Amino acid sequence: MQEKIIYEKFERERADSYLASIYKDYSRSYFQKLMDRQRVFVNDKIIPASRKLKRGDIITVEFEKEEKLHIKPEKIKIDIIYEDDDIVVVNKQSGIVVHPSYGHPSGTLLNALMGHSAGKYNTYLVHRLDKDTSGVIIFAKNEKAKISISKQFQKRVVKKIYYAAVKGIIAENRGIIKAPLGRSPQNRKIISVNPLAKKTAITEFKVIERKGDYTLLKVRIITGRTHQIRSHMKYIKHPVIGDRQYGGPEIIGVKRCERQMLHAYNITFIHPSTLKTVKFTAQLPNDMKEIVNSAK
């Protein structure tokens, strides 16, 4: 299978990273392998994975279908908020991985959706949530919807609102965090603020409640970087409660957090067929309500 896309961003980005952000079913390492095998071209020329793309570049990808991880249908209970011929919107529970990997081939949300569809349609990943983050997530049911929504993410048309309970009292009622993010040189699994990073990251927040030694925030991410909220909250010294990876406390009041207190509350985008603006909401889950109510 061969596909062509035009790079429309103004900022330059590595080809492997960009392709992995567009084709969510494939990893960055998969595209690196394709480039090693001379199956990715920019302006009809073979390129290395490190090649920086510029606006107007025409990218041709020759996919190797056998490399794609097979997703087996599984009977896993899921909370479907909305479904039509183009999209399925799910209220993801914390603790479930969104998509399979070679180290985690089953028990994921995509496995559950494959089971739900009973083979009637394919399910395409267009964005992600971390394993321990709960809330609303969209999946496409056909190529047209996948391309439409993916482009909306690229152009920042999609609006995402989160709730986060963070350590400490934030004095300001509102704030904007503008700090570039990149992988930590000490630990590649950690995303940290790095002045030399070329990816801009912007997070807006509004205080909903201050209680005890925590603050409940409504958060909007303008950019969609990996671990953006978690990393930015750590950067301003108010880590998300229960976030073991980014230093959030596990205990608040008398309650122990089993996961990070981060919830994708709603998402707004343009429907790929009706072209109308749609908005879907996942109410705050019980575990977050209990943590919030337990704070003294």
The residues annotated as belonging to the active site are 130
Which of 171-196 are b and which e, b meaning 16 or more Cβ less than 10 Å from the residue's Cβ?
eeeeeebebbbbeeeeeeeebbbeee
| Partners of 80 in the β-ladder | 90
Please give the helix or strand (H or E) that residue 281 lies within, else none.
strand 277-281
Residue 237 CB coordination number (10 Å): 11
Phi, psi of 70 (to 5 degrees): -75, 130
Decide: residue 218, CB within 10 A, 0-12 exposed, 13-18 middle, 19+ buried: middle
Per DSSP, 68 falls in state S
